[in-house]
């Protein structure tokens, strides 16, 4: 387990993704019979600004099924309200959301960093234009990330960010026999359920954290977001110390059997 830069019932993360996909596919089937799509076209260069070219090219071939699924997802299903509410934490600080960095990975592996938005409406508008294949949520800075180029580098510093743990099923390749790498099945997924329970208990009982969000990472495991205010304010040294505390065994050795003679301090 490694700390990087949300608690669900067993199996629900993957089922939720498939359910959403079925809904989008059904919506797509309804659209195929129409002569003209009611959905808005891609952004103009003037609207998209610095990332105009990648965003426009992301939509140029938008008649293929994957692009249409993504367009429908961002138009109809993405939970913009809850997403913005979560990442602004009630907007106690009026600049909290505006100072939060987002990065978009567009079709063709085009990576756009230092995106920031003043409001939920602005975030929604830009995401519907860009239709990213991947979204990364970054730290909250002392200035708006989109203004980074106008600010002296030494003055632009992160103020807060969630404590995030990334657990991949491939971390258990030493002790599972059914699958390897990113492959996962009903036999080895229970390992992730156990990891969630162990991690949750340690974070709650040993560190006193309360606001935990476990989510399916989208490919090979889960992410745990610790959202308590004091977790968001941790220094890098403190984050590393927590990760080290939670590390019992580092995989990668050839041995399939692991013997632990000393009890974990928890």
Catalytic residues: 101, 166, 168
What CA–CA distances, in Å, run from 73 to 11, 40, 66, 67, 94? 22, 13, 10, 10, 29
Taking the C-alpha atoms of residue 130 and residue 127, their distance in angstroms, rounded to an integer, is: 5
- Cα atoms found within 13 Å of the Cα of residue 163, Cβ hemisphere only: 26
The helix/strand count (H/E) of the chain reads as 9, 8
Helices (H), the chain: 12-32, 45-48, 52-60, 65-72, 80-88, 120-130, 190-201, 229-232, 236-246
The DSSP code for 52 is H
The answer to whether 84 touches 45, Cβ cutoff 8 Å, is no
Among the listed residues 5, 4, 9, 3, the one whose alpha carbon sits nearest the alpha carbon of residue 192: 9
The CA distance from 135 to 138, in Å, is: 10
For residue 42, the 8-state DSSP code is P
Whether the Cβ atoms of residue 237 and residue 163 lie closer than 8 Å to each other: no
């Amino acid at each position: 387990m490694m700390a990087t830069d949300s608690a669900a019932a067993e199996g629900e993360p993957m089922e939720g993704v498939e359910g959403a996909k079925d809904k989008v596919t059904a919506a797509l089937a309804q659209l195929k019979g129409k002569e003209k799509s009611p959905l808005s076209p891609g952004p103009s260069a003037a609207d998209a600004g610095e990332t105009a070219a990648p965003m426009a090219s992301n939509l140029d071939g938008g008649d293929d099924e994957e692009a249409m699924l993504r367009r429908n997802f961002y138009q109809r299903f993405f939970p913009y309200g809850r997403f913005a509410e979560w990442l602004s934490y009630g907007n106690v600080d009026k600049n909290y959301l505006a100072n939060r960095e987002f990065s978009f990975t567009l079709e063709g592996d085009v990576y756009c960093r230092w995106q920031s938005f003043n409001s939920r409406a602005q975030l929604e508008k830009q995401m519907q234009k860009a239709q990213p294949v991947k979204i990364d949520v970054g730290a909250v800075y002392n200035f708006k990330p989109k203004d980074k180029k106008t600010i002296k580098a030494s003055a632009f510093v992160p103020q807060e960010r969630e404590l995030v743990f990334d657990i991949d099923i491939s971390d258990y390749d030493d002790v599972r026999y059914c699958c390897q790498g990113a492959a996962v099945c009903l036999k080895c997924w229970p390992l992730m359920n156990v990891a969630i329970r162990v991690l949750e208990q340690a974070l709650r009982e040993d560190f006193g954290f309360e606001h935990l969000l476990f989510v399916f990472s989208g490919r090979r495991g889960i992410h745990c977001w610790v959202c308590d205010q004091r977790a968001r304010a941790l220094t890098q040294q403190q984050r590393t110390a927590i990760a080290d505390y939670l590390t019992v065994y580092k995989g990668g050795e050839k041995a399939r059997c692991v013997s632990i003679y000393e009890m974990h301090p928890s």
